[in-house]
Structure 1
């Protein structure tokens, strides 16, 4: 199942992708695996054909086993992230560190603190020159500044929480 904003799910349906579930910022919905809430993300959003991609969003996922994951998506640091921490924090936060188009490493450290993450996986970096980052240096900075664990994944690798 594809869970995304309404515009992307509608576009995918027009491309033949079935079983989409459209949502929007601030909305939440219970699925068989748990509950998904769409969070604010500040970024551009366009579809492959150049049409409007709708509101960019992050996802706060509460799994039935009690695990909480925050996928920030492409976003800048926002003060709204504090609301996630105030609600109890997350077991894992996936945060962009690429800078230039999203938050960079320093802002990602602040975001990890805002959402009270127990662990962070850095995302959206090193795919092309303007967003080249040293993920190991970010991991060390995160540990030093906030005593938060960080797992740096190689492309194609997996992580079990």
Structure 2
């Protein structure tokens, strides 16, 4: 399994001959190294409906006939664009041919703003547990710190956790460091920072706060094998 980070909250997983994109915010993302025209995902996983996470899902899915897995209300909305969607909800898991996807809770908000300014309810925000090739990847989505992260960690042997550290819209570095402790992940990767002025952070300071997990600070395009 190959995992790469592409700025903001964009994560790519290559496994079982499939390419999975999580929260593919590409156009408008000043930190990403990706171009929509070059990406060929088989699957898109979404944590919630905010535009900086749904991103370029519609164009990518239409162009590549990708399956979109999302919280059910968001999946229903995206289905109106003719996309192949799978709507899931918190606590639910599904086995696919590329691995298993399970949705966990996140504490945030979730709505999509259309080009004409309409605000569409996106259902509950979520985190994602992805399990494949005997490995478990946790993408926390946008969230504050919450105590059930300890339960998520106890119920799942997490190999790598992607945690937001930007503060302002999500938990900041101090809370994210405590989240890493609760999750007991082998490796932690900070995400959702430095994209916009309110979420400017120094990931090295976050790294200093984390105990018990390896912290991997990734630039856009960096990758590693699990």
TM-score, normalised to structure 2, is 0.66
TM-aligned CA deviation for residue 88 of structure 1: 4.1
Structure 2 stretches lacking a partner, 5+ long: 1-66
Listed one character per residue, the Cα deviations across residues 44-66 of structure 1 (whole Å, up to 9, x for unaligned) are 11112311011000011121x21
Alignment match, 2:91: 26
Structure 1 stretches lacking a partner, 5+ long: none
Inter-partner Cα distance in structure 2 for 1:147 and 1:25: 28
Which of the numbers 93, 101, 106 marks the counterpart of 2:169? 101
Cα distance change, pair 88–51 in 1 and its aligned pair in 2 (3 A) = closer
Which of the numbers 103, 124, 129 marks the counterpart of 1:55? 124
Q: How does 1:77-88 map to 2 (within 5 A)?
A: 77-88=145-156
Q: How does 1:139-150 map to 2 (within 5 A)?
A: 139-142=207-210, 146-150=211-215
TM-score, normalised to structure 1, is 0.91
Cα distance change, pair 159–85 in 1 and its aligned pair in 2 (3 A) = same
TM-aligned CA deviation for residue 147 of structure 1: 3.1
Decide whether the 8 Å contact of 1:88 with 1:116 is kept in 2.
no
Inter-partner Cα distance in structure 2 for 1:15 and 1:33: 24
Which of the numbers 130, 153, 157 marks the counterpart of 2:222? 157
Count of residue pairs brought into register by the alignment: 156
RMSD in angstroms over aligned alpha carbons? 1.3
- Higher RCO (CA < 8 A, seq sep 6+): 2
Alignment match, 2:70: 4
Q: Name the structure with the higher strand share.
A: 2
Decide whether the 8 Å contact of 2:184 with 2:212 is kept in 1.
no
